[in-house]
Amino acid sequence: MSNNLLEVIDLRTSFDTERGNVTAVDGVSFSVAPGEVVGVVGESGCGKSVTAESILQLLDPSSTSYSGQILFGGDNLLRLSEDALRKVRGYRISMIFQDPMSALNPVFTIGDQLTEAILAHKRIGKRRARAFAIELLAKTGIPEPESRMRQYPHQLSGGQRQRVMIAMALSCDPELLIADEPTTALDVTTQAQILKLLIELKDEFDAGILFITHDLGVVAEICDRVVVMYLGEVVEYTDVHTLFDNPAHPYTRGLMASTPGIDADPEDDLPIIPGAVPTLHHIPQGCRFAERCALVLPECRQQTIELEVLSDDHASRCIRSAELATGASLSNGGVR
């Protein structure tokens, strides 16, 4: 239908829990064009990881149900059989996870896990797969890739483990790479290195990237377009420049205000968004963000708020988004 690589339309992912059914992702739509990096941003619990894992349907099948469409290469991934889906996973769409320590199997060697990923999709011999794995490791900048092949995950540093994960994800030259907070579990210098590596490899492999993060600093560095999520819904999407210049949702503004700039005075208190993300069991009526919003109006709690399209590639789920997009400084006149 379009030249998009991935098109998620009205995705709904819900879980059966002991306390009833909860919808973790509620009507999310976005798209990723080939070679494009799309960021999905939000606090923990906003549904961004669930969105990512829904694409490959990695969640526990016995308690998860999906609806909507995930269009990829002409197929709706949600309609594919398990077998067909397996041929997409790791081959056409691959994934990098947050904590490389727990994402690698502790009892198998790096080499074992890497070649396994290659052999799962390519009809080549073990020896060639191994040589290819070493080549991939070298590409990710791991020193002495050959001896790393014989090591176990716990013998590597955090940064090296994430490089292994990246090598594994790129092993079949995927069209789309989903990176779920790939730098969160790493220390700051390693974070920068991994990010740099991803940017380099992105150009070499020419893959689209869906980048899940809570860190707007990372978004500014790597993403072309951004989807902001709150409590299972998309609250704003736009290109990265518009997002930073004219954020049109109070939540986006809050996220930005609570991200320290490089020139910030450490003595200053960072503004924070008051309160915490409500649980999925208690989704508020009306605007889901109203409880924590500095600009809340009485109407916010009375109606379901729809995404309001502001321009070609900019929409916000706020009744005051038009005012906000102008960049004006607003208040709610003391209403709370």
Partner 1 sequence: MGGFLLRRAAALIPVLIVVAIVTFLLIHIMPGDAAAVMLGPEATPAQVEALRESLGLNQPLYAQFFTWVGSALQGDLGQSFFIGLPVSTVIHAALAPTINLAIFAEFIAILIGVPAGIVAARKQGTGTDRSVMVGALLGISVPSFLLGLFLMLIFSVLLGWLPVAGYSPLEDGIFETLKYLLLPGIALGSMQAALIARMTRTSMLETLSKPYLKTAKAKGLSGSRIIYKHALRNASMPILTTIGQTLGTLVAGAAVVETVFNVPGIGQLIINSIERRDIVVIQGVILVIAVSYVLINFLVDVLYSVLDPRVRLS
* Residues in touch with partner 1 (CB under 8 A): 53, 56, 58, 62, 82, 86-91, 94-95, 97, 99, 102-108, 116-117, 120-121, 152, 154-155, 165, 168
CB of 117 to partner 1, least distance (A): 5
Q: Which residue number, 63 or 311, has a Cβ lying nearer to partner 1?
A: 63
Location of structure tokens 């999520």: 229
Would you call 186 helix, strand, or coil by DSSP? coil
Q: Which residue number, 178 or 287, has a Cβ lying nearer to partner 1?
A: 178
CB of 7 to partner 1, least distance (A): 20
- Rounded to whole angstroms, how far apart are CA atoms 238 and 246? 10
- Count CA atoms closer than 13 A to 234's CA, side-chain side: 25
CB of 183 to partner 1, least distance (A): 16
Q: Which of 17, 20, 21, 39 is nearest to 30 (CA)?
A: 39
Q: Which residue number, 154 or 281, has a Cβ lying nearer to partner 1?
A: 154
Q: Which residue number, 113 or 321, has a Cβ lying nearer to partner 1?
A: 113
CB of 63 to partner 1, least distance (A): 9
CB of 104 to partner 1, least distance (A): 6
DSSP bridge partners of 22: 15
Q: Which residue number, 16 or 200, has a Cβ lying nearer to partner 1?
A: 16
Helix-strand-coil percent breakdown of the chain, rounded to 5? 35, 25, 40
Residue 80: φ, ψ to 5°: -70, 150
Q: Which of 230, 224, 264, 232 is nearest to 15 (CA)?
A: 232
